[in-house]
Amino acid sequence: MSDVPGDSSPAPSALSTTPAGPDHFLEMTELLRAAWEGQPFVSLPQVWAQLAGLGVGSLSSDAELSLALTHLSELHPCSATAAGADATVLVETCEPVRRVTFTADGMLIARSGQMQPVVWPVGRVLSSRPGGELAVEDRSGFVHSLGRVVRMTVLEKQWELFGDTAGDTAGGTAGGTSSAVDLSGCSRSALGGAVFVGVLDSGDVVVCDRAIQVVTAQRRSASVEVLRGWQRVVAGRCGEPVVVRLAGGEDRQVGAGVLTAMWRVE
């Protein structure tokens, strides 16, 4: 450390003996731009805090910083398509506030506090850059405007960097991103912060997180049932009814019909 009071700069012995050149400056600033571009509503100090969470400190090498910046740009890409076709991407929007998940098998699942969850197959993503509009065309050709993009997160990258306890539950199948997720045997405590959305053959939609919501579409509205005291998913496999165990030990079927698909959306 420096001998100057309050100066936290590295001691001379910790500094590189080779000065950085113009090309290196450009390379590092480009990596920073890519890491920040995918989350423009985040301040630069917050970006540095994210880097600290990835282990970058004042004594880190430029190579370590480069790797962390690359991880950030892969975690928060600048468009949904940049994440790759086999990625699960969570898009946070404002105006209105929504959480929109693009699944690895080509589905879109949109949720917000003001609307029932909707699930439909994606035709193509028309625009998805952070700061701009999220516009998606479904397979019938209708264009949906889903809000202004705040940030995108590649869930597989998030689990890789920060761990994923929910992926270890129910024989490891709960961590999958396909429509064949099986929550059978998963306890409420093991779920952590994960969120799953399932569709039943009756048209009911089940949202499973700290509480279980069952959304039943009606002619002009939707009814929502909320189960807060559940303990474990007894049956959560495609082709079967969804059954949960409540706090009192009672097993209860959730929704009408059998499960046709379930995805992890967070």
Question: Could you read off the pLDDT of 243-263 as tens digits, one per residue?
Answer: 999 988 999 999 999 999 999
Packed helices 62-75 and 44-53: angle between N→C axes, nearest 10 degrees: 110
Among 112, 132, 155, the domain boundary falls at 155
3-state secondary structure at position 204:
coil
Among 155, 181, 208, the domain boundary falls at 155
Q: How far apart are CA 241 and CA 64, in angstroms?
A: 49
Q: Which of 237, 233, 238 is nearest to 252 (CA)?
A: 233
Do both 33 and 67 map to the same domain? yes
The boundaries of the domain holding residue 129 are 81-155
Do both 222 and 173 map to the same domain? yes
pLDDT at 130 over 70: yes
Do both 71 and 85 map to the same domain? no
Do both 86 and 71 map to the same domain? no
- Which letter does DSSP use for residue 167 in this model? G
User: Per the domain annotation, does 53 fall within a domain?
Assistant: yes
Q: Residue written as tokens 């928060």?
A: 76
Amino acid 170: pLDDT: 42
Asked whether the beta carbons of 56 and 68 are under 8 A apart, the reply is yes
pLDDT at 2 over 60: no
Higher per-residue confidence, 15 vs 53 = 53
Among 155, 185, 209, the domain boundary falls at 155
Do both 43 and 132 map to the same domain? no
User: Per the domain annotation, does 12 fall within a domain?
Assistant: no
User: Per the domain annotation, does 3 fall within a domain?
Assistant: no
- 139-193: pLDDT as tens digits: 999 999 999 999 999 999 998 888 776 655 543 344 455 567 899 999 988 888 8
Amino acid 132: pLDDT: 95
Do both 230 and 189 map to the same domain? yes
Lowest mean pLDDT among 92-96, 99-103, 112-116: 112-116
